[in-house]
Amino acid sequence: MDTSAFLKSHIRTVPDWPAPGVQFRDITPLLQDPKVFRVLIDTFVHRYMDAALRPTVVAGLDARGFIIGSVLAYELGVGFVPIRKKGKLPFTTVEETYELEYGSATVELHTDAVRPGDRVVLIDDLIATGGTMMAGRRLLEKLGAEVTEGAAIVDLPELGGSEKLRASGLELFTLLDFAGH
Ligand SMILES: O=P(O)(O)OC[C@H]1O[C@H](OP(=O)(O)OP(=O)(O)O)[C@H](O)[C@@H]1O
Ligand SMILES: Nc1ncnc2[nH]cnc12
């Protein structure tokens, strides 16, 4: 079994959660087994250790992006910055509002989180409509940083997010996908 199929076999699908019609792709089983968690993180670490792709900062999207993003940053020896849902960050922020598969949200980033010249890998667990990652990218770019790549474990291609993100010019790296959402 290749890495993608191995990781996919540890994702649990929960039908009709958090709303009827949503097939929720639950990554918690990936994190729960230490051997699987290591394979997951090492896959990202190996990619971003490469000199050409090595970031100066890893930015993680609230909340599941924090779990993988902070470990990735630690392993790469770079800083981690959280992009949080509105109302959680205490210092001055920039903000963006966007639509989700089920609802809408506003995300914020501290104004001193990144600087012009930073090369940022922006990471989350999953791309659905792509709204969250697009909003995160806009926040980082508002502060003058370059998002060199967006990264996620799961792509839900039928929701169109990955295509939209790539069409906007973002480089995107995902480990596996689910056809049909
Ligand atoms: O591509 P999109 O349509 O924007 O959807 C993907 C986002 O939705 C989920 O987060 P959610 O907002 O449910 O928050 P959580 O991580 O706090 O559960 C997921 O973890 C991504 O962040
Ligand atoms: N179908 C889904 N499963 C898990 N997380 C999600 N975020 C948005 N859509 C999702």
Taking only the tens place, the pLDDT of each residue in 17-60 is 999 999 999 999 999 999 999 999 999 999 999 999 999 999 99
Supply the DSSP symbol for 20: T
Q: Tell me what percent of the residues of the chain surpass a pLDDT of 90.
A: 94
Q: Minimum-distance ligand to the CA of 105?
A: 1
For residue 161 and ligand 1, the question of a CB distance below 6 A is answered with: yes
Give the pLDDT of residue 99. Answer: 84
Burial of 85 (0-12, 13-18, 19+ CB in 10 A): middle
CA 28 remoteness from chain centre = 15
Residue 131 CA: nearest ligand 1 atom is: 4
Q: Residue 144: helix, strand or coil by DSSP?
A: coil
Q: pLDDT value at position 168?
A: 98
pLDDT for res 20: 94
Residue pair 48/72 in contact (Cβ under 8 Å)? The answer is yes
Return the residue whose CA atom lies nearest to atom 6 of ligand 2. 24
Give residue 96's Cα distance to chain centre.
16
- How many angstroms separate the first and last alpha carbons of the chain? 23
Substitution site in 8, 16, 24 for ligand 2 pocket (most atoms within 8 Å of beta carbon): 24
**Residue 181: its pLDDT value, please?**
47
118 lines ligand 2 (CB under 6 A): no
Q: Assign residue 98 a region: left if phi > 0, alpha if psi is -120 to 50, beta otherwise?
A: beta
Give the separation between CA 77 and CA 58, rounded to whole angstroms. 10
Interface predicted TM-score of the whole assembly (ipTM), two decimals: 0.98
What would the pLDDT profile of 65-95 be if each residue is shown by its tens digit? Answer: 999 999 999 999 999 999 999 999 999 999 9
Query: Helix, strand, or coil here: 26?
Result: strand
Mean pLDDT of the chain: 96
Residue 63: asked if its preceding bond is cis (omega within 30°), the reply is yes
- Choosing from 64, 67, 138, 156 the residue with most ligand 1 atoms within 8 A of its CB, the one to mutate for a pocket test is 64
Strand-by-strand arrangement of the 103-110 sheet? 93-100, 103-110, 79-85, 57-61, 119-127, 146-155, 172-177
pLDDT value of position 100: 77
User: For ligand 1, is residue 96 a contact (CB within 6 Å)?
Assistant: no
Residues belonging to the active site: 64, 101
